């Protein structure tokens, strides 16, 4: 299926709101502001804001929506949406992004094609403007590729960010960056939404070629023979139960005149469908296992963004992709596999397959020259139990590198929470048969999965992002539709610029 329609035309504008020709003007409104702050707009709306404030219909509570008509005949736009933004002192980039997301969702639901978003103080800095445009485009996203009938909800055609004064060059650049990152995040959402019968490992590899290849980025795909030559026995073991052959997607970003220095290695789990293998999953909810490549999709789309944003450091992206199926050739509990780094792994549970393919991919990233590693995966249900759906799990070493990743994620609006990695957790992976087992049991399951991956980090700075709870919204949020989130794209792309090396 084709991916990602063209992004809407986006621009920064100022002057008079009355002169803007759009289907909808959207503006945040705060709980702690008086009517005088919106007096000009209220006059154009025939006093409806004041009346709604007086009646309690508008309070400024977060994500509250209030639609009203423009009565001033000189205004070109005839409809206005006010979105509750809470207290102005708490209006940071995260709040700006979600408030704008609520506006984008509402605009799309009401078939508005041309939208103006008013960047009111304190939302006029470059960072706030970037967050706002990201929110609008993420909120307006709909994946209708598999609908045979027109849903009546057309995509946005144009988005104007309105400022009191002309936007400076830094703000315009930030808005362009936000458009790119939101677009790449939406592509990742489409990849995660795609059914496993259509997005097989070979198709996934082809998509990566289309999405990432560019002036400074190359894509190489390792087939079965190349995978075998790298000794990637863990990946081979996971893939052998499926009729679909595995692939490894290797993406390289080489800036012009790249100087010797850090090389960022991004590794993403790309299981295009996870049945659990012989340790088969329950039928209830198994259809969601098409999203088990969300980490790999995030790496592919982050590499797409990096190639267009052109940071000064080199970046390598590695996505091992396979199906985990219970075929006649599938690995069994008790089997022993040999990893690319020579470690032998006793498989106690074939549903703990993501860490297996990531282990080999981390080794490959080191062979290709990565000096700093980040892997991302929908890895464990245990992380969902620990953190729910509001934060991704973060593990790694050393502490300074983990904290650097956390700070970058926080600035990107993708909340992550560190989990401990005490050496005692590694004892749960001891095997009487091999070097280690692929699961440490239920206690501390997210942490022991991280301890398994640490075995393959080569002692390099390494961070593991467990997005099992954040890659998918189970219900519609005020600022985001149900379904894939594209989590990780913004963080991984920002690491190429902002990480503390």
The residues assigned a catalytic role are 281, 355
Instruction: Give the count of alpha carbons within 13 A of 365, CB side only.
Output: 33
d(CA 453, CA 462) in angstroms, rounded, equals 9
Nearest to 426 by CA among 445, 398, 448: 448
d(CA 26, CA 49) in angstroms, rounded, equals 13
- Is the distance from CB of 326 to CB of 241 less than 8 angstroms? yes
d(CA 347, CA 337) in angstroms, rounded, equals 7
Q: What single string gives the DSSP state of each residue in 396-451?
A: EESHHHHHHHHHHHHHHT--EEE----GGGGGGG--SSSSEES---STTHHHHHHH
Measure Cα distances from 230 to 227, 241, 375 in Å: 5, 20, 19
Local structure of residue 185 (DSSP, 8 states): H
- Is the distance from CB of 253 to CB of 303 less than 8 angstroms? yes
d(CA 376, CA 311) in angstroms, rounded, equals 21
d(CA 234, CA 456) in angstroms, rounded, equals 12
Helix axes 169-193, 489-498, angle to 10 degrees: 140
d(CA 393, CA 390) in angstroms, rounded, equals 10
């Amino acid at each position: 299926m084709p991916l990602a329609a063209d992004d809407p035309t986006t621009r920064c504008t100022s002057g008079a709101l009355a002169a803007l020709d759009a289907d909808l003007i959207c503006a945040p409104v705060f709980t702690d502001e008086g009517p005088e702050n919106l007096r000009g707009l209220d006059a154009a709306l025939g006093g409806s804001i004041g009346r709604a404030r007086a009646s309690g219909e508008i309070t400024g509570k977060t994500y509250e929506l209030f639609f009203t008509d423009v009565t001033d005949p000189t205004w070109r736009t005839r409809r206005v949406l006010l979105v509750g933004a809470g207290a102005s002192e708490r209006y940071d980039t995260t709040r700006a992004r979600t408030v704008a997301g609520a506006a984008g969702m509402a605009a799309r639901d009401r078939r508005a094609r041309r939208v103006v978003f008013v960047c009111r103080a304190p939302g006029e800095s470059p960072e706030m403007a970037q967050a706002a445009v990201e929110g609008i485009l993420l909120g307006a996203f709909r994946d209708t590729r598999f609908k045979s009938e027109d849903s009546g909800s057309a995509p946005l055609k144009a988005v104007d960010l309105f400022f009191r004064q002309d936007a400076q060059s830094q703000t315009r650049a930030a808005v362009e960056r936000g458009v790119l990152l939101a677009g790449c995040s939406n592509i990742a959402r489409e990849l995660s939404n795609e059914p496993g019968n259509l997005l097989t490992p070979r198709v996934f590899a082809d998509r990566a070629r289309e999405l990432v290849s560019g002036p400074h980025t190359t894509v190489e795909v390792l087939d079965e023979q190349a995978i075998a030559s790298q000794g990637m026995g863990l990946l081979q073991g996971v893939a052998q139960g499926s009729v679909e052959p595995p692939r490894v997607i290797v993406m390289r970003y080489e800036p012009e005149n790249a100087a010797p220095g850090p090389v960022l290695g991004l590794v993403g789990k790309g299981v295009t469908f996870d049945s659990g293998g012989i340790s088969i999953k329950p039928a209830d909810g198994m259809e969601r296992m098409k999203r088990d490549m969300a980490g790999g999709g995030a790496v592919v789309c982050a590499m797409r963004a990096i190639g267009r944003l052109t940071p000064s450091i080199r970046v390598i992206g590695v996505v091992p992709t396979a199906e985990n199926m219970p075929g006649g050739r599938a690995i069994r509990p008790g089997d022993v596999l040999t990893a690319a780094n020579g470690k032998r792994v006793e498989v106690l549970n074939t549903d703990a397959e993501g860490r297996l393919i990531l282990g080999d991919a981390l080794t490959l990233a080191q062979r290709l020259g990565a000096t700093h590693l980040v892997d991302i995966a929908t890895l464990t249900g245990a992380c969902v139990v620990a953190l729910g759906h509001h934060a991704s799990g973060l593990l790694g070493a050393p502490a300074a590198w983990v904290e650097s990743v956390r700070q970058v994620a926080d600035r990107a609006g993708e909340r992550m929470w560190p989990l401990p990695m005490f050496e005692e957790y590694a004892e749960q992976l001891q095997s009487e048969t091999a070097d280690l087992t692929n699961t440490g049991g239920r206690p501390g399951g997210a942490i022991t999965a991280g301890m398994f991956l640490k075995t393959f980090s080569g002692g390099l700075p390494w961070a593991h992002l467990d997005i099992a709870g954040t890659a998918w919204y189970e219900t519609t949020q005020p600022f985001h539709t149900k379904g894939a989130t594209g989590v990780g794209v913004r963080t991984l792309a920002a690491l190429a610029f902002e990480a503390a090396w």
